[in-house]
A and B are shown apart, each in its own frame.
Chain A
Amino acid sequence: MLALTRKVGQSIVIGEGIEITVVEVKGDQVKIAINAPKEIPVHRKEIYELIQAENREAACLPEGIKVEELLGLWQDKEKV
């Protein structure tokens, strides 16, 4: 992994369209500004990992479960 030392106000450029700037350092917190093309999703890692994990779990549709049962549950909700 590449490690670079930067001061507040200095940047790192990744490829053509991505620029990461150190905006502020306060104690153990660093504020960074990210300039990237709109189509590139940028997320805090822990939130992204949470959504990854949720998606993987959601993709595991249980074998034994009949989808009809789930739908029954759902339609009951719609009716109530």
Chain B
Amino acid sequence: MLLKTMRFGEIDIAEEQIIEFPWGLPGFPEQKRFVPLHYGASTSLFFLQALDSPELAFIIADPFQIIGNYVVDIPQDDLEALKILTPEETAVYVILTIRQGGKEVTANLVAPLVINTAKNTGRQVILFNSPYNSRFSLNTQPQAVAK
């Protein structure tokens, strides 16, 4: 099927690439289907393109590339809602925000996107009692180079 995007034009995608967010995302409750798109050579950075809004895309990243020892303690209710049974069928991403016209990039480590890769469903989870915040700077933190 054809995916319309503002940034990349039309892209041919397979049904299986679509990730369903049954509850949308906070701030975007109507957006329930997204497609992660690889961009460039990076294997840990994606565009999360909204299927039904060509203009809406997020940049998401593998949080373990940002902080090697990132701890994500997913609340039990979220695991059950996503019907996640094993870590193997779980993928975790964080949303990046470009600030100051590109001078600063921050990662929302407190509200990761958790995806059931077996069922291709996801939700943005809000971590309780998390040591992280929603604006972890990738510019100034030495941990940002963890790899």
Contact = CB atoms under 8 A, between A and B. Distances in A.
List 4 A-B pairs, minimum CB-CB distance, nearest first.
A52-B27, A55-B27, A65-B102, A58-B97
Report the contact-size class of chain B (Cβ under 8 Å from the partner).
Answer: 35 or more
Interface of B: 7, 22-23, 25-28, 39-42, 44-45, 56-59, 61, 65, 77-78, 80-81, 95-99, 101-102, 105, 108, 110-111, 123-124, 126, 134-135, 138, 144-145, 147
Interface string A46-65: 01101111111111011011
A75 interface: yes
A58 B97 CA distance: 4
A10 B77 CA distance: 24
Contacts of B22: 39
Nearest to B43: A78
Per DSSP, chain A at the interface is helix
A50 B134 contact: yes
A17 interface: no
8 contacts: A51-B26, A51-B111, A54-B134, A59-B56, A59-B57, A61-B57, A65-B101, A74-B42
A54 B105 contact: no
B73 to A, nearest CB: 16
A77 B97 contact: no
A26 interface: no
Interface residues of A, number: 32
Contacts of A38: 77, 80-81
Nearest to B124: A51
A41 B81 CA distance: 9
Contacts of B65: 78
A14 B32 CA distance: 24
Interface of A: 38-39, 41-43, 47-48, 50-59, 61-62, 64-65, 67-71, 73-75, 77-78, 80
